[in-house]
Amino acid sequence: MRRAIYPGSFDPVTNGHLDIIERGCKLFDELIIGILVNPDKKALFTIEERREMLHDALTEIDCGACRPLIEDFQGLLVKYAVERNADAILRGIRAISDYEYELQMALMNRRLEPRIETVFMMAGEAYSYVSSRLVKEVYQLGGTIDGLVPVSVEVRMRSKFSQS
């Protein structure tokens, strides 16, 4: 039984994340989507909203026999991975610019906890430029994010920005 943690901020989840989850499900028997609770980083969506968006978005993909769990965690990722008995940390890489940061994290995580492997998957080419940050910026400035995020996220974005 192979279990992986797919950690991230997911503020909000994008179709790029979903693509990694769907493909990651083919590699692992269990996938835990770990939302980082980071009080130092100002987020657009609350943890609960992010959890709900992820939950709704999962209905849009085919996870086969692997049923992804959605959790949140605080503190060190490797500590959480050990607590949850995970074998691996799953991360997506879009461009070479991601590589440096991801390499640093993977090596630090390996130093802290050699038992946990980091597994990288190349982002689907259709999403290689998509990030939560850009999606929020484009939407806020009136651009379309159609096809870049799950429907549930578009709906939430609309209500979030009509409130402010």
Q: What are the residue numbers of the active site?
A: 17, 41, 94, 132
- Residue 8 interacting with ligand PNS (CB under 6 A): yes
Q: Calculate the alpha carbon distances from 112 to 99, 102, 116, 139 in Å.
A: 20, 15, 9, 38
Indicate the residue among 64 and 108 with the shorter CB distance to ligand PNS: 108
Question: Which residue's beta carbon is nearest to the bound ligand PNS?
Answer: 8
Q: What residues numbered 48-107 form the site for ligand PNS, per CB under 6 A? A: 76-77, 105
Question: 33, 71 in Cβ contact below 8 A?
Answer: yes
- Residue 131 interacting with ligand PNS (CB under 6 A): no
- Residue 15 interacting with ligand PNS (CB under 6 A): no
85 Rama class: left (phi>0) / alpha (psi -120 to 50) / beta? left
Count CB atoms within 10 A of the CB of residue 86: 26
52 Rama class: left (phi>0) / alpha (psi -120 to 50) / beta? alpha
- Residue 9 interacting with ligand PNS (CB under 6 A): yes
- Residue 36 interacting with ligand PNS (CB under 6 A): yes
- Residue 24 interacting with ligand PNS (CB under 6 A): no
Indicate the residue among 39 and 142 with the shorter CB distance to ligand PNS: 39
Question: CB of 1: closest distance to ligand PNS in angstroms?
Answer: 23
Give Cα 43 distance to the centre of its chain: 14
CA distance 14 to 113: 29
> Which residues make up the interface to ligand PNS (CB under 6 A)?
7-9, 36, 76-77, 105, 108-109
